[in-house]
Amino acid sequence: MTPLPNTALYAQRRARLASQLGEGGIAIVPTAKESARNRDSDFLYRHDSYFYYLTGFTEPGACLVLAADGTSTLFCQPKDLEREIWDGYRLGPEAAIAALGVDAAHSSATLESQLPRLLENRSRVWFPFATHEGLAARVEGWLGKVRARVRFGALCPAEQGDLCTLLDEMRLVKDAYEQDVMRRAAAISAQAHIRAMQCSARMLRAGEDVREYHLDAELLHEFRRQGSQAVAYNSIVAAGANACVLHYRADAAPVRAGELVLIDAGCELDGYASDITRTFPADGRFTGPQRALYDLVLASQEAAVAATRAGARFNDPHDATVAVLSQGLLDLGLLDGNKVGTVQDVIEKRAYFQFYMHRTGHWLGMDVHDCGSYVEPTEIGQTSQRRDPLSGEAITNRPSRILHPGMVLTIEPGLYVRPAPGVPEAFHHIGIRIEDDAIVTDGGCELITRGVPVRADEIEALMRG
């Protein structure tokens, strides 16, 4: 049984949301469905993040209904001693009121019959758009039943609103409780990365056959050993040239001395994700070209970290990264200045895109790519047009988000060098990414994932141990 949540915390969140629903508003927030993996076997269940944010409840088959006056009604699985023998403990409606701090609780079996009555005489119904397959159709069905009662004086909601627009803004700034959980998740993940690094060097020194799945196993072991419930996303363990595949998954490729290993992995703890990437020499020692590229990526990350602070824009860390990488690519000869021009030309023409094709960060929270707009809502109407120099596509620019204390984002520059004409052979098949999780503060940012070393000398020293 999962420990019951801090009811006051979730009650405060529900009250804050209720105050935004408008007079006569009502919100419907279902949790995630169970998903079949194969015959008679489900994937490991994971609750819906919006639902969990408002309830702290992790059982499947549940739904929260919240009215603008703050009244909360939970629908959950009924107690069933026979099913509990097979599937485990259920809280049940009778215990849910005290345990979760909701005002009313009913069996989920009564949801279809009770929802239309709850929707009667409401002006607007809110629910998360495009996140639960079939939910919009179910809402239409419930509204149809309300309309069938208009002869009896029932009023049907005339408006529908996307609940994500309200909850995304709430979830974007993490409170003290959330920040604490994320620090603990980051600490666990950092130890897992250390374990994988040391395992790689130790096995290679012993002359053993090392595979990507060996390192993946070390990550999983440490995640669960320290109490995290699951991975936050499928771990990337990419040896050698596989590191140039951005979404590569841990497989059976050999880990060889003299090559790099890129690990992008993080655990989920109590509903919150961590997200760390480290790139290290499989046997514990960087070669010259590897070190040159690694130090360049690290320098670009340091520039991005320096640009991450309250009052800055979300795009500022990316722009700082691109400036450093572009100059470094010219300095190292991966880009020919006679062909691409100055560093400003490299930036404006996006010539760096051959080696760096993703953004420098994303929001992090309950989801590894967490919710929240990347556009500043107070300036959304300020637009300009530009044409992408690579694709020729017309792009509408809007001011990027202003950072505030408590926002959490990743900072993850990288370089991925595939063989190509004009690219020095010494750099072929080298993929490097360095990623840390940052909590925005007034004076800068707090890197919560630095429990695992990031400087090349520190990584080599760790792997000698």
Q: Which of 117, 205, 225, 369 is catalytic?
A: 369
**Per-residue pLDDT for 399 more than 90?**
yes
348 a catalytic residue: no
435 a catalytic residue: yes
Task: For residue 5, name the pLDDT band (cuts at 50, 70, 90).
Answer: low
Q: Which of 222, 268, 275, 283 is catalytic?
A: 275
362 a catalytic residue: yes
Question: What span, in angstroms and rounded, lies between the C-alpha atoms of 213 and 237?
Answer: 8
Task: For residue 449, name the pLDDT band (cuts at 50, 70, 90).
Answer: very high
Please list the residues that pair with 41 across neighbouring strands.
38
Q: Which of 151, 247, 393, 425 is catalytic?
A: 247
Domains and CATH numbers, the chain: 7-170 (3.40.350.10), 176-464 (3.90.230.10)
The separation between CA 147 and the C-alpha centre of its own chain, rounded to angstroms, equals 40
**Per-residue pLDDT for 101 more than 70?**
yes
Q: 207-238 pLDDT, tens per residue?
A: 999 999 999 999 999 999 999 999 999 999 99
Q: Which residue has the tokens 């489900």?
A: 42
Q: Which of 120, 222, 283, 435 is catalytic?
A: 435
416 a catalytic residue: yes
Q: Which of 264, 316, 370, 436 is catalytic?
A: 264
Q: Report pTM.
A: 0.95
433 a catalytic residue: yes
Question: What span, in angstroms and rounded, lies between the C-alpha atoms of 343 and 336?
Answer: 11
Predicted pLDDT of residue 6: 84
Mean predicted confidence (pLDDT) in 97-108: 97
Separation in Å, CA 317 to CA 322, 342, 416: 9, 21, 19
Question: What span, in angstroms and rounded, lies between the C-alpha atoms of 463 and 292?
Answer: 19
Question: What span, in angstroms and rounded, lies between the C-alpha atoms of 146 and 24?
Answer: 15
Residue 446, C-beta contacts closer than 8 angstroms, at least 6 positions apart: 438, 439
Q: Specify the 3-state DSSP secondary structure of 333.
A: coil
Query: CB of 451 within 8 A of CB of 190?
Result: yes
275 a catalytic residue: yes
Task: For residue 250, name the pLDDT band (cuts at 50, 70, 90).
Answer: confident
Q: Specify the 3-state DSSP secondary structure of 303.
A: helix
**Per-residue pLDDT for 256 more than 80?**
yes
Predicted pLDDT of residue 4: 53
147 a catalytic residue: no
Q: Which of 40, 82, 209, 442 is catalytic?
A: 40
Q: Which of 124, 291, 358, 418 is catalytic?
A: 358
The continuous run of DSSP H or E covering 107 comes out as strand 104-107
Task: For residue 362, name the pLDDT band (cuts at 50, 70, 90).
Answer: very high
Task: For residue 465, name the pLDDT band (cuts at 50, 70, 90).
Answer: confident
Helices 456-464 and 176-205 cross at an angle (nearest 10°) of: 60
Mean predicted confidence (pLDDT) in 383-407: 93
- Counting residues of the chain whose pLDDT is more than 90, the rounded percentage is 96
